[in-house]
Homo-oligomer: A and B are copies of this chain.
């Protein structure tokens, strides 16, 4: 992720590495405004970034103060910049994803399509859930507002949801967190020490990978094949590595989308027991079956392995702007997890918990809409890929949020670099690899509308053409900024 400050040297070098001005006759201030605007549109300067002061940029560019001031004024007028006394000039992306209007010569009117995050916008009914939750809030305002492990009624609903899925659970086994990643932080703090080994599927969820590494543990990769998790390979890897923890995503894995079937779960559980490894099961995508109905889903992995800790999240099922997740632990681990929690943060906002309560009650209707949207986006994406990039290979996932594509050549990072200036942000396969590699893969999430994906695939195909075979591949970034 980029930071939200940008140094003057970065701005100057990015401006200079850009294409020459389309209209060399344009006034200098307009050319500068356009250069800066394009850096914003390309996602190279992010929303909320403070630009260098006019004086600093003037000095660094060796231009006149008037030119810089006029360029900033143009950007302000166009809604790309907010300047406030004492805080400098802060970039703003007008209208969010849909981008701003044309701006002078050389404008390409690119909209930024951010496919680096596999997370959907809020479903219908979200604003209503917030309003209802606010109406319930006064009941809580008379207290100090702390509920470090979660509101009892929410823990109860979450426990019921597990029971419905075939895993008997008491509210005391549930801890509400600020998300699945925060839940993983709690588990790692409670259960691993420096040098302990944690097995992770490869590819896996990059933030979980960072979290495990930053905990001081050592990661052990378990390569996934096209069918997903291989229980024999898991058994061997656990035995050889003596890993004490295994972080797994058995339900519509991120990024591959594979779903581990029930008979494999039985084998996985046996292997975990045999090798005395504790499974940490990330079920963030578990509710996102597209072709698999609720009643067709295998039972949660913890139903097969009572020692497993399960992580859940509202971010993908409902909305990422809600920051609520939870964990479900065996009774015997609850006390140490609670202790670890209290050294990380003091709990989840009351209102967020009330919102999730509402959403759990409305789950079926909210999810029906979400799944139907995902089906349509997924199908648009696969159709566009088959049309524009017929030599790319992928298995169509039956749920989840992303397609894991195998490229004919290991040029994923180059592709992501090349498509950025075309206004598509993508994470290369290597980001998902436990031990690097995976340069032959790229994840394309389908959490946005099908039309946007069709547009994105068009740009990806153009970038791929240059990266895969074009003579300019070596200088793709410099060339493509034009």
Q: Which residues of B contact A130 (CB under 8 A)?
A: 134, 137, 351
Contact A117 B144 (CB under 8 A): yes
A349 touches which of B90, B185, B211, B321 (Cβ 8 Å):
B321
Beta-carbon contacts under 8 Å, A136-167 to B: 137-138, 140-146, 148-149, 151-152, 155-156, 159-160, 163
Contact A90 B152 (CB under 8 A): yes
Contact flags A89-103 to B (C-beta < 8 A → 1, else 0): 010100011000000
Q: How far is the CA of A143 from the CA of B119 in the complex (A)?
A: 9
Q: Which residues of B contact A340 (CB under 8 A)?
A: 214
Beta-carbon contacts under 8 Å, A404-452 to B: 447
Q: How far is the CA of A114 from the CA of B348 in the complex (A)?
A: 20
Q: What copy number does this chain have within its complex?
A: 2
Q: Which residues of B contact A171 (CB under 8 A)?
A: 4, 48, 50, 87, 90
Q: How far is the CA of A168 from the CA of B447 in the complex (A)?
A: 40
Output the least CB separation between A51 and chain B (Å): 10
- Tally of chain A residues near chain B (CB < 8 A): 93
Task: Kindly state whether residue A105 has any CB partner on chain B within 8 Å.
Answer: no
Contact flags A316-338 to B (C-beta < 8 A → 1, else 0): 00011111100000010011001
Q: Which residues of B contact A148 (CB under 8 A)?
A: 1
Contact A156 B84 (CB under 8 A): yes
Residue in B closest to A322 when the chains form the complex, CB atoms = B349
Q: Which residues of B contact A159 (CB under 8 A)?
A: 86-87
18 sampled A-B residue pairs with Cβ under 8 A:
A4-B152, A4-B172, A5-B173, A48-B151, A48-B172, A87-B160, A117-B144, A119-B144, A134-B134, A141-B321, A144-B447, A146-B320, A181-B343, A213-B343, A321-B350, A321-B351, A349-B352, A351-B355
**A-B complex: 6 closest residue pairs judged by Cβ atoms:** A145-B321, A5-B172, A48-B152, A145-B320, A321-B350, A122-B141
- Interface residues in chain A, defined as those with a beta carbon under 8 Å from any beta carbon in chain B: 1, 3-5, 47-50, 82, 84, 86-88, 90, 92, 96-97, 114, 117, 119-122, 126-127, 130-131, 134, 137-138, 140-146, 148-149, 151-152, 155-156, 159-160, 163, 168-173, 177-179, 181-182, 185, 189, 194, 207, 210-211, 213-216, 315, 319-324, 331, 334-335, 338-340, 342-352, 355, 447
